Structure 1
Amino acid sequence: MSLEPTTVRPDAIAEQLRASIIAQQDAPGSAVTESAVAVRFGVARPTARLAIERLVSEGILRREPHQAARVPVLGPDDIRDLFEARAIIESAAVAALRSVPVDARHSGDSAADDIAFHRALVAGQPNQRLTRMHDLLLGEIELCIGQVHAEQLLSATDVADQHQRILDAVIAGDAEGAARLAREHIELARDALLERTSRG
């Protein structure tokens, strides 16, 4: 017999767990077990298992064979590789935009807002393969953006200003400028994370 209401779905638990991980409430390296998730959210273990599996598939969690899932610890090489891939994809995406996507027009100052802004920029351009490539990296991107915000590695005001400059370049039809600004914006976040990592 299920211990949970039939309305509780694994996707809902996964989203709550994702938000907690992005906010650094579940620290990098910490284990995320089925039993702990079941107790934490008041659900049955099969529901907890499905929620964890979803986040593993998205890169928000990692799991080695016969071990509990863990929040990834991204080292310097991981960060460099991820942000280089991001810069390539996102600069190409903004260069291809012909107008500002609706979902990118109202950028707040939270990690969720930041993530939504970048997703909207990529999703708003016409090359769906580019969007799918970005989606493959999105879990790790979310982890990094979450850390930047949780530890205030960059000023929220500066981030918002950089977002607006990218949008202004898109509005002006300056594809080259938009691509350059997107790359610079991503590189600033990369450098902040690398500096934080070097401090241990």
Structure 2
Amino acid sequence: MTTLRPVSTVEALAAALRERVLSGDIEPGAALPEQELSARYGVARPTVREALALLVHEGLLRRERNRSAYVPVLTSADLADLMYVRAPLEELMAQAVAGRRVAAAEDALDRLSGLPAGAPWAAVVAEHMALHEALVAAAGSPRLERLYATLAAETRLGLVGLRHSYEDPHELAAEHAALLRLIAEGPADAAVHAMREHLRWRHA
């Protein structure tokens, strides 16, 4: 029998704020004053402070001395640099898993495909990340996984900027279905090429 762990108020508040950040409801650069959040969600300020600390630790928020926590702004130069580092990692992954189907990635694709058109963008981001992380895990390199994980927060924030480029999450799902098919078919050079093309950012 599996016992479910109750979700604390801190975790529940962090989850609510995380969804708002990743859905674009809280815009990049926006501050999150503790007093305002305390009043809005009806929780004590120490609870707000802990929830914000969780999101700062995840990299979804930043906090500086004597400033409210805020959502980082990723410039076009930031995104270009992110892809400069991320692309070789994903191409290494594609080479490693070429010719194989990855069940966990296909499961994430099924969940992404099953999202309704009006689903919060945060849900789209979650399944997109789950798919790519499953592919990276399938490469079988713990060091590659660790390197990829260091880019996760900025990748998630970068994906927020794509929400206006996809009117329906099924369009994004179709792109990833094609990617998984090409990787599974192989050979390695074709899989790497497919990943390289996939990683071209779509601009709003």
* TM bucket, shorter chain: 0.7 to 0.9
**SS of 1:24 mapped into structure 2:** coil
User: CA 1:81–1:162 in structure 2 vs 1: closer, same or farther (change >3 Å)?
Assistant: same
Aligned counterparts of 1:130 and 1:84: Cα–Cα separation in 2: 16
Aligned counterparts of 1:185 and 1:7: Cα–Cα separation in 2: 37
1:124 aligns with 2:138: yes
How far is 1:7 from its partner? 5.1
Aligned counterparts of 1:97 and 1:32: Cα–Cα separation in 2: 41
How far is 1:78 from its partner? 0.6
Q: Deviations over 1:115-159 (max 9, x none)?
A: 22222222222111111111111111111112212x125874553
The aligned counterpart of 2:84 is: 84
- With structure 1 as the length reference, what TM-score do the two structures score? 0.80
Larger displacement relative to structure 2 (97-106 or 152-161): 152-161
- Contact 1:58–1:136, Cα closer than 8 Å, also in 2: no
Aligned counterparts of 1:37 and 1:102: Cα–Cα separation in 2: 40
Aligned counterparts of 1:182 and 1:53: Cα–Cα separation in 2: 35
Which consecutive segments of 4 or more residues in structure 1 shift more than 6 A? none
Cα RMSD of the aligned pairs, angstroms, is: 2.3
The aligned counterpart of 1:16 is: 16
Could you tell me which runs of 5 or more consecutive residues in structure 1 were left unpaired when the two chains were aligned. Answer: 1-5
- What letter is aligned with 1:52? L
How far is 1:83 from its partner? 1.4
How far is 1:64 from its partner? 2.0
User: CA 1:129–1:155 in structure 2 vs 1: closer, same or farther (change >3 Å)?
Assistant: same
The aligned counterpart of 1:166 is: 179
How far is 1:40 from its partner? 3.3
Map 1:96-111 to 2 at 5 A: 96-97=96-97, 99-106=100-107, 107=109, 108=112, 110-111=124-125
Aligned counterparts of 2:134 and 2:67: Cα–Cα separation in 1: 35
- Contact 2:13–2:51, Cα closer than 8 Å, also in 1: yes
The aligned counterpart of 2:116 is: none
How far is 1:91 from its partner? 1.6
The aligned counterpart of 1:186 is: 199
- What letter is aligned with 1:165? A
The aligned counterpart of 2:117 is: none
**SS of 1:43 mapped into structure 2:** coil
Could you tell me which runs of 5 or more consecutive residues in structure 2 were left unpaired when the two chains were aligned. Answer: 1-5, 114-123
The aligned counterpart of 2:156 is: 142
- Contact 1:34–1:48, Cα closer than 8 Å, also in 2: yes
User: CA 1:7–1:186 in structure 2 vs 1: closer, same or farther (change >3 Å)?
Assistant: closer
User: CA 1:7–1:148 in structure 2 vs 1: closer, same or farther (change >3 Å)?
Assistant: closer
Aligned counterparts of 1:36 and 1:184: Cα–Cα separation in 2: 43
The aligned counterpart of 1:3 is: none
User: CA 1:9–1:182 in structure 2 vs 1: closer, same or farther (change >3 Å)?
Assistant: farther
Aligned counterparts of 2:190 and 2:17: Cα–Cα separation in 1: 37
